[in-house]
């Protein structure tokens, strides 16, 4: 069902954990639906210098979280804003159709954490105007 | 490759070697069509009839009351739709439960769209149907009660005898989906007043693609698959002769030494439950503690999600299943776990390990050991666990 | 025991050894349920999908357009009832023919009881449907045309391309029961404008109990068997994995060197027909002389009855079939033979010998020789023959 | 499907043929239905001294004819009148349910031949009053 990449990230997820003094925290998903992603960002000079996640969810949710953190670590905020769910899924060599919502959740976790950073720090981030962190990714597929 | 520890016998079972051996000649030596006049055909016919007789004997039915199908789902569909259509002049009401297999639930929903009324009985925290509600639900329009013998997820065994008595007293047909029970529990259709009963060979070490519906003589039921005159005009299509032969052999073997086998299975089951409860906290046993299938263990591990548990177990060579949404192909966790009152997030974290004759105590201990590590690793990753600990 | 001369390949065929070899691991080694998350399950899933792809390729369909069933009859039932129910808002009229298999005819009769209108097209003396009548029968209410590809009794191949064109032009779904054609005739569903197509593995040296329905993407059709989410929610029930694997292998082998095999079959067929005509009088060939299945021979022997012919052949180790009432389980001789205009008493005396790749010229000659003796013996016993000779 | 006895009588039917100067001939069945039995009797002093048959029909029709001739050969008319279809089927070790009409046809063939004899010879035969040789045995099962 899953690509080897997904399985590899599921079994050896990168950047698991919390950041005590995170600059931005995103928390998306819903235990009812069986997936929650929490993402912690450390941001310095517009750059994501550290990122950690915790995820309650299926294999592809964990792999998507792991891949998302890899994709944004060391990147600027703008670069991180450009990471789409398709990029996450693509980097994992694809996800089964019924699992695409996991990659959407990962994209939302990033944006949600950036929104939190923006609100806490007062730094404006282009592209977050229309972002609604409570939007349900399960409706997307 | 590591040896597989297969603990998903409720999903399907390997075909036993003796069963396969009996089937083999019917593929390319004794391959005649049972409807054919010549000897090659009538020898196939004889094999089919012998299997029918064996299966009938096992549940105290006549061989003329056993009809072969392609599996459990077809048998379920046939029983419910066949009785509904054949008896709609008598009434349009069907009673079933909230914890039935989809083969029943979705068939009932389909009939609702066609004007039938269906009552889905509630179950208690163990998954046992409410007999009072059953009695109260019966109306003059009620033509069928369909309640499963034992639940495929949580293993709970229903009070079939009581249901059969109620059905008989009120003169209503009683169907039971015994797909999980056959081969594990001794069943006497007369003693239990069962009018129809579904079975599937692949659940008791027979082949996939073959099942049967027991139909008590005299039950008014329409056919589901129409065409040639096979199965005495009640289920058309060239008979799956190897499958039928295999099913007969498999049921025979399943009921051989059943009590001994079950005693062993129950011991393993209790060892597995105890191992998990002794070593992992925040777990709950789903289903009834004693009124359950001998090999069924179903446990929720709080704060983690079932599919990731399964994938982790698979890495360790352990095969199990889960009622999480991610494994059901829908976005909802198991309707059975929700029906026994579990909140969604806990239902997502269920694990079913269904033991079979091939499992050993060593395997059980190995599984417990691996589960301890996997659960703690997944919980360490879980924001729900973090939140829970924070809250404590 | 004498070696059997099997000339009833239209009834069923032995499963080829290579097919069985491919199936075997899926009984007790690779036995996982394809719906399961763990590797054992996903390897079964892979095998199922591979077979689906092979079958799709063979008829120029996508693998997502192939849905497995328990056989040809289920596929026929599904196609006709599924389209009827799903499109009843558009119309209630179905067109089929008088020479269809019971799986279609009885399903249509069943739908008639539910308010659908069915036109059963006439056929000519060769069993070919009347295309003009087809065109004239189409109304605004027509939702489905179901015409078999090749007839199971007399082997006549229908003008499928023409029917497909008519259906396409009038925007009506076209289903064909290709149970007898698949594996014997190359079929391209796009070229022939076929929307649905039924097949059964046991007719082309695959196992019994497995078949498939091709459903063109976009066709509106209800499921027939409801329950779990298998076959992308269109046909519920645990997949018959060994059967599916076997069907894929069998279809692949069937289409290997098809032209050579058919050339040989046609030679044998003609040798058999010539042998009978040269040596026995008062015989007639049923079905079209050239537009027929390569291996099909169907001949009426006047003054004698088919079952006694079959029993006599069986004594000589020869397996064939007949459209006589005595072999149909009803009191009527074959509806196909009556539809091509045969009087009852002649229809009772039909013999179908359906040749396969394993038959040889020696076998054909042996059968002719034996037939000569058997026919003359039975005629000597027949009061009809006595009367005929008296009348001459 | 068939008992060994049926198969044996089918393959080696007794008394096949015609009797040129028969005293009674019975002809029952219908080619439409796929079975016709013709039975020839030679009767001397109330006794069936010879019997022959010709049958167009399935295996059980031929075996039933053969067995029927065996059962009545050498018997008196009264004895022959007492041969029922059950006796014919029983003597064949049974017939499949859908083939019982063949044994009925055999009983009718006997009676029909006796009726013909009775009419030709003027000998009254008890029990033939209600016999209708055109009665369709296919309606009996
Ligand atoms: C033309 C045709 N359609 C349908 C069927 C039914 O197939 P099955 O008996 O495998 O269900 C057959 C074979 O009996 C057939 O020859
Ligand atoms: C209780 C129950 N009923 C019905 C079925 C359906 O059986 P099958 O998948 O063989 O059609 C199953 C198994 O999946 C089951 O566990």
User: What does each of the 392 residues of chain C score in pLDDT, given as a tens digit?
Assistant: 468 999 999 999 999 999 999 999 999 999 999 999 899 999 999 999 999 999 999 999 999 999 999 999 999 999 999 999 999 999 999 999 999 999 999 999 999 999 999 999 999 999 999 999 999 999 999 999 999 999 999 999 999 999 999 999 999 999 999 999 999 999 999 999 999 999 999 999 999 999 999 999 999 999 999 999 999 999 999 999 999 999 999 999 999 999 999 999 999 999 999 999 999 999 999 999 999 999 999 999 999 999 999 999 999 999 999 987 666 666 688 999 999 999 999 999 999 999 999 999 999 999 999 999 999 999 999 999 999 998 75
Residues with CB under 6 A from ligand 1: B 237-238; C 71-73, 76, 101, 103, 148, 152, 177, 179-180, 200, 202, 211
User: Residue B106: phi, psi to the nearest 5?
Assistant: -70, -30
Regarding beta strands B196-200 and B173-177, do their DSSP bridges make them parallel or antiparallel, or are they unpaired? parallel
pLDDT at residue A140, rounded to an integer: 46
Low-confidence ranges of chain D (pLDDT < 50): 140-141
Instruction: For CA atoms C72, C74, C77, C83, give the dihedral sign.
Output: negative
In the prediction, which pLDDT does A139 show?
A: 56
Q: Is A49's Cβ below 8 Å from some Cβ in C?
A: no
Centre of ligand 1 to C-alpha B276, Å, is: 52
> Who among A7, A13, A34 is closest to B381 (CB)?
A13
Q: Tell me if B6 sits within 8 A of B356, measured CB to CB.
A: yes
Q: Determine, yes or no, domain membership for A109.
A: yes
pLDDT digit string (tens) for A25-68?
999 998 888 899 999 999 999 999 999 999 999 999 999 999 99
> What is the Å distance from ligand 1's center to B238 Cα?
7
The CA–CA distances, whole Å, from C217 to B194, B361, C107, C176, C220 equal 42, 50, 24, 16, 9
The Cβ-side half-sphere exposure at C234, using a 13 Å CA radius, reads 24
In the stretch 244-263 of chain B, residues with CB closer than 8 A to chain C read: none
- Whether residue D1 lies within 8 A of chain B, CB to CB, comes out as yes
Residue of chain A with shortest Cα separation from C41: A1
Task: Give the count of domains, chain D.
Answer: 1
In a domain, A40, yes or no: yes
Number of the ligand closest to the Cα of C148: 1
| Model pLDDT for residues C159-202, shown as the tens digit of each residue | 999 999 999 999 999 999 999 999 999 999 999 999 999 999 99
Ligand closest to CA C10: 1
Q: What is the CATH number of the domain that holds A114?
A: 3.90.1010.10
> How many C-beta atoms surround the C-beta of residue C53 within 10 A?
16
Burial track C60-85 (b if 16+ CB lie within 10 A, e otherwise): ebeeebbbbbbbbbbbbbbbbbbbbb
Chains D and A touch, using 3 or more CB pairs below 8 Å? no
pLDDT in tens, A82-124: 999 999 999 999 999 889 999 999 999 999 999 999 999 999 9
CA distance C196 to C189: 8
SS3 C45: helix
Read off the DSSP letter of residue B158.
P
Q: D38: closest CA among D49, D50, D29, D46?
A: D29
In a domain, A74, yes or no: yes
Neighbours of B389 (CB within 10 A): 10
pTM score: 0.95
Q: Which H or E element spans position C351?
A: strand C350-354
A58 touches chain B (CB under 8 A): yes
How far apart are the CA of D24 and the nearest CA of chain B, in angstroms?
Answer: 35
* Residue B292 φ/ψ, nearest 5 degrees: -140, 160
In-domain check, residue A139: no
> Token match 């139909």: residue?
B215
The minimal CB distance from B70 to the residues C6, C37, C209 is found for: C209
Ligand index nearest the alpha carbon of residue C180: 1
C221, C79 in Cβ contact below 8 A? Answer: yes
Closest CA to C163 of C95, C102, C220, C61: C95
Q: For chain C, say whether B311 makes contact (Cβ under 8 Å).
A: yes
In CATH, the architecture of C257-390 is Alpha-Beta Complex (3.90)
Task: Tell me if A32 and B307 make a contact (CB, 8 A cut-off).
Answer: no
For residues B267-299, b (16+ Cβ closer than 10 Å) or e, as one string? ebbebbbebbeeebeebebbbbeeebbbbbbbb
Q: Could you tell me if residue D140 is inside a domain?
A: no
D36 touches chain C (CB under 8 A): yes
Cα(B48)–Cα(B68) distance, rounded to whole angstroms? Answer: 9
CATH of domain C17-254: 3.40.640.10
Of C24, C38, C237, the CB nearest to B314: C38
Q: What is the DSSP letter of A120?
A: H
- Whether B99 and C218 have beta carbons less than 8 Å apart is answered as no
Residue D49 within any structural domain of the chain: yes
Domain ranges of chain B: 17-254, 257-390
Residue A65 lies in a domain: yes
Please tell me the predicted confidence (pLDDT) of residue A32: 84
pLDDT of residue A141: 42
Residue of chain C whose alpha carbon sits nearest to that of D57 = C305
Smallest CA–CA distance from B302 into chain A, residue: A56
What six digits make up the tokens of D70? 């065996």
Q: Which residues line ligand 2 (CB under 6 A)?
A: B 71-73, 76, 101, 103, 148, 152, 177, 179-180, 200, 202, 211; C 237-238
CB within 8 Å: C36 and B11: yes
Q: C326, C338, C372, C384: which is the annotated catalytic residue?
A: C326
**Which residues constitute the domain of residue D18?**
4-120
Task: Tell me whether strands D47-56 and C350-354 are parallel, antiparallel or unpaired.
Answer: unpaired
- Ligand 2 center to C237 CA (angstroms): 7
Q: Enter the tokens of residue B264.
A: 């062993």
Residue D11 resides in a domain: yes
Tell me the helix, strand and coil percentages in chain B, rounded to 5.
45, 15, 40
Residue ranges of chain B with pLDDT lower than 50? 1
Residue C232 in contact with partner chain A when CB distance is under 8 A: no
What pLDDT shows up at residue D140?
Answer: 46
B45 touches chain D (CB under 8 A): yes
Model pLDDT for residues D3-27, shown as the tens digit of each residue: 999 999 999 999 999 999 999 999 9
Which candidate in A1, A12, A33, A56 is catalytic? A33
Interface mutation target, options C303, C307, C351, chain D, most CBs of D under 10 Å: C307
DSSP state at residue B321 = B
Distance, in angstroms, between A115 CA and closest chain B CA? 19
């Amino acid at each position: 069902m899953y690509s080897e990449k997904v399985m590899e990230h599921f079994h050896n997820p990168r950047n698991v954990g919390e950041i005590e003094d995170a600059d931005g925290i995103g928390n998306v998903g819903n235990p009812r639906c069986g997936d929650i992603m929490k993402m912690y960002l450390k941001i310095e000079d517009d750059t994501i210098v550290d990122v950690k996640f915790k995820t309650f969810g299926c294999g592809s949710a964990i792999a998507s979280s792991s891949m998302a953190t890899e994709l944004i670590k060391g990147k600027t905020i703008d670069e991180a804003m450009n990471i789409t769910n398709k990029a996450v899924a693509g980097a994992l060599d694809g996800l089964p159709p019924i699992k695409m919502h996991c990659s959407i959740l990962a994209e939302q976790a990033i944006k949600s954490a950036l929104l939190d950073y923006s609100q806490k720090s007062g730094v404006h981030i282009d592209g977050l105007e229309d972002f609604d962190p409570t939007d349900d990714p399960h409706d997307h597929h | 490759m590591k040896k597989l520890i297969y603990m998903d016998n409720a999903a399907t079972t390997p075909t036993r070697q003796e069963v396969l051996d009996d089937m083999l000649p019917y593929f390319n030596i004794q391959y005649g069509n049972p409807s054919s006049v010549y000897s090659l055909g009538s020898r196939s016919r004889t094999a089919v009839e012998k299997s029918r007789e064996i299966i009938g004997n096992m549940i105290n039915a006549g061989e003329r009351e056993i009809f072969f199908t392609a599996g459990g789902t077809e048998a379920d569909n046939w029983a419910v739709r066949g009785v509904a259509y054949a008896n709609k002049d008598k009434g349009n009401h069907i009673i079933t439960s909230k914890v039935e297999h989809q083969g029943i639930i979705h068939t009932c929903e389909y009939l609702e769209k066609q004007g039938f009324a269906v009552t889905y009985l509630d179950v208690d925290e163990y998954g046992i149907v409410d007999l009072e509600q059953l009695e109260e639900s019966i109306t003059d329009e009620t033509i069928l009660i369909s309640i499963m013998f034992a639940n495929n997820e949580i293993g709970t065994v229903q009070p079939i005898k009581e249901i059969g008595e109620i059905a008989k007293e009120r003169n209503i047909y009683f169907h039971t989906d015994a797909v999980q029970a056959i081969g594990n529990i001794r069943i006497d259709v007369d003693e239990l007043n069962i009018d129809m009963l579904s079975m599937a060979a692949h659940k008791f070490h027979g082949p996939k693609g073959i099942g049967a519906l027991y139909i008590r003589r005299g039950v008014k039921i329409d056919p589901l698959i129409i065409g040639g005159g096979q199965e005495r005009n009640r289920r058309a299509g060239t008979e799956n002769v190897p499958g039928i032969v295999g099913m007969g052999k498999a049921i025979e073997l399943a009921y051989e030494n059943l009590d001994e086998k079950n005693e062993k299975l129950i011991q393993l089951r209790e060892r597995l439950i105890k191992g998990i409860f002794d070593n992992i906290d925040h777990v709950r046993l789903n289903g009834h503690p004693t009124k359950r299938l001998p090999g069924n263990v179903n446990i929720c591990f709080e704060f983690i999600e079932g599919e990731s548990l399964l994938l982790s177990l698979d890495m360790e060579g352990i095969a199990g299943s889960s009622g999480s949404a991610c494994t059901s192909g829908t976005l909802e966790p198991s309707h059975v776990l929700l029906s026994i009152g579990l909140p969604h997030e806990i239902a997502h974290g269920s694990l079913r390990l269904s033991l079979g004759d091939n499992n050993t105590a060593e395997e059980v201990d190995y599984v417990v050991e691996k589960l301890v590590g996997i659960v703690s690793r997944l919980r360490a990753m879980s924001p729900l666990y973090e939140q829970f600990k924070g809250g404590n």
